[in-house]
Structure 1
Amino acid sequence: MKFSIDHKSPVSLHIQAEELLRKLIQDPQYQDGKMLPNEIELSRRLCISRTTLRQALNKLVYEGLLIRKKGVGTKVVDAKSISSKSKNWLSFSQEMAARGIPLKSFELHISWVYPEEKIANFFEIKTDKKILKLVRLRGRPEGPFVYFESYFHPRVGLTGDEDFKRPLYEMLENDHSIVAYISSEEISARLADKFIAEKLEVEVGSAILLRKRFVYDIAERPIEYNLGYYKADSFIYTVESRRE
């Protein structure tokens, strides 16, 4: 792959370096855990300082695309594992797009249902009021790895006629002026029952991860109750903490 940065471009050097690194990540020779050229070599070939290069690298490390180890180097995250961070969360479509992972929807179903008591309690509504339920089975072209069930507060204003192939939170904001602002999540281990095993194409009793996401708007009002069932070998959840 050709390494080049336009030093006369109005685009900042670290932005150009970031875009180049994103392309580099897609190169087969660096995928599945392969090490990238070291910082000295990369900065020399790009004719930029190591500080500028490190700024671009740090952005991709933060997004979960690269892993850096002191004294070892930088490598591409294993493409077989989907990484999600606890900060600056995105919709599933946006997560996959940010990582350059091709996404396929195997199922998409919309219905109006009476909420279970736990969902009604979360939304602070009665169980006799129907809410919109969105079901999606998604994954890579070769097969599904996550089954989603999403429930939405009636206040959101969804009709069921929306194009749910679009990124969900982008659609909520642009079409319904609903900004998904806070996400509270729970991750737990589960054994696949018959229903989930059939959806994810695994054996009954296989290890899966259940990811519960509780989403609130800017006013901290609940807008979405989401359940995601992931193949255990296809999902990594990264938590970043800073000591103040």
Structure 2
Amino acid sequence: MPQRRTDEPVTQTPLSIPIDRSSPVPLYFQVAQELERRIMAGELAVGTKLENELLLAERLGLSRPTLRRSIEYLVDRGLLVRKRGVGTQVVMPRVRRPLELSSLYDDLSRTGEQPRTDVLRLAVEAPPDAIATALEVDPGTEVYVLERLRYARDEPLALMHNYVPTELVALDEERLAHQGLYQLLRAAGVTMKIASQSIGARNATAAEARVLGESRGAPLLTMERTVYDDVGRVVEVGSHVYRASRYSFELTLTD
């Protein structure tokens, strides 16, 4: 029997989605929530092709604009993609990270993204002068210099460079491979209180693209962060790049 190629769309049986028409929750959002739940739970695999919108709308008893709004909601969230000549397919969900003082490892663990880490470099050496200034240490002072590749569900997600004063915590490759940096700092009695952070974007270098599994020049999100503890010491300076195709930052805005 011929085997299906791995790059071919995964087909599925027609969707059946329960809809509560007496609920105050809009119909489009009920459908979107249920589809999102199934995608995140793995019930709708990456590559699954959804039915034609008109046929699906008729079977669910919805208007086509209502169903289309559900689909557009999930496209905006990076869970579905429309391809000309193919239709609507499930894609690998983006990692969505809230803008708060937490580590990537903690955020991935909390959302079930199964983080793991390759420690590419761990050294004790004098950092560049700009980093020494950010750490508020004298030029030539030796600090931990870390380079790590963080995975989510066995897919490379972020390349992280961090600088940490050596007197704060004892670091080794084994511990860094199995725990997040902030976990180790907290276990050493460091209370992280506040951070200064900037977010940007740029194209991947050839080396970054190779490590992250992207094409050269692919878009990357960048984050620069300086973290202070509860007595005002600088405890970490970080410089991270993330695959824009798999990662986004989320902000909550209030009046």
- Residue 95 of structure 2 corresponds to 82
Within a 5 Å distance, the mapping from 1:137-176 to structure 2 comes to 137-160=149-172, 163-164=175-176, 165-174=178-187, 176=188
- Residue 183 of structure 1 corresponds to 195
Q: Is residue 129 of structure 1 aligned with residue 166 of structure 2?
A: no
Give the distance between the partners of 1:173 and 1:142, measured in 2 at CA. 26
Aligned to 1:189, the other structure's residue is in SS state strand
Aligned to 2:132, the other structure's residue is in SS state helix
Output the aligned Cα RMSD: 2.9
Give the distance between the partners of 2:114 and 2:253, measured in 1 at CA. 30
Deviation of the 1:184 alpha carbon: 2.1
Structure with the greater alpha carbon radius of gyration: 2
Give the distance between the partners of 1:187 and 1:109, measured in 2 at CA. 24
Once the two structures are superposed, what CA deviation does each residue of 1:172-227 show, in whole Å capped at 9, x if it has no partner? 122x2111221222111111112212211222211111111211101222110111
Within a 5 Å distance, the mapping from 1:190-209 to structure 2 comes to 190-209=202-221
Give the distance between the partners of 1:237 and 1:161, measured in 2 at CA. 28
Once the two structures are superposed, what CA deviation does each residue of 1:53-74 show, in whole Å capped at 9, x if it has no partner? xxxxxxxxxxxxxxxxxx96x9
Q: Is residue 229 of structure 1 aligned with residue 252 of structure 2?
A: no
Deviates more, 1:74-83 or 1:102-111: 74-83
Give the distance between the partners of 2:127 and 2:217, measured in 1 at CA. 27
Give the distance between the partners of 1:120 and 1:100, measured in 2 at CA. 36
- Residue 41 of structure 2 corresponds to 27
Give the distance between the partners of 1:154 and 1:195, measured in 2 at CA. 28
Identity level (%): 20
Deviation of the 1:235 alpha carbon: 1.1
Q: Is the 8 A contact 1:96 1:102 kept in 2?
A: yes
TM-score (norm 2): 0.62
**Counterpart pick for 1:112 among 124, 135, 158:** 124
Give the distance between the partners of 2:95 and 2:153, measured in 1 at CA. 14
Q: 1:77 to 1:190 in 2, by over 3 A?
A: closer
Give the distance between the partners of 1:212 and 1:183, measured in 2 at CA. 10
Give the distance between the partners of 2:232 and 2:191, measured in 1 at CA. 10
Q: 1:159 to 1:26 in 2, by over 3 A?
A: closer
Q: Is the 8 A contact 1:106 1:144 kept in 2?
A: no
Tell me the number of residue pairs that the alignment of Structure 1 and Structure 2 aligns.
182
Q: Is the 8 A contact 1:31 1:77 kept in 2?
A: no
- Residue 36 of structure 1 corresponds to none
- Residue 99 of structure 1 corresponds to 111
Q: 1:97 to 1:31 in 2, by over 3 A?
A: farther
Kindly provide the amino acid, as one letter, of the partner of residue 183 in structure 2. E
Q: 1:25 to 1:183 in 2, by over 3 A?
A: farther
Deviation of the 1:126 alpha carbon: 1.9
Q: Is residue 217 of structure 1 aligned with residue 229 of structure 2?
A: yes
Q: 1:120 to 1:81 in 2, by over 3 A?
A: same
Give the distance between the partners of 1:188 and 1:215, measured in 2 at CA. 18
Deviation of the 1:80 alpha carbon: 2.1
Once the two structures are superposed, what CA deviation does each residue of 1:134-186 show, in whole Å capped at 9, x if it has no partner? 21111134431210111002341435477112132222122x21112212221
Kindly provide the amino acid, as one letter, of the partner of residue 239 in structure 2. L
Kindly provide the amino acid, as one letter, of the partner of residue 199 in structure 2. I
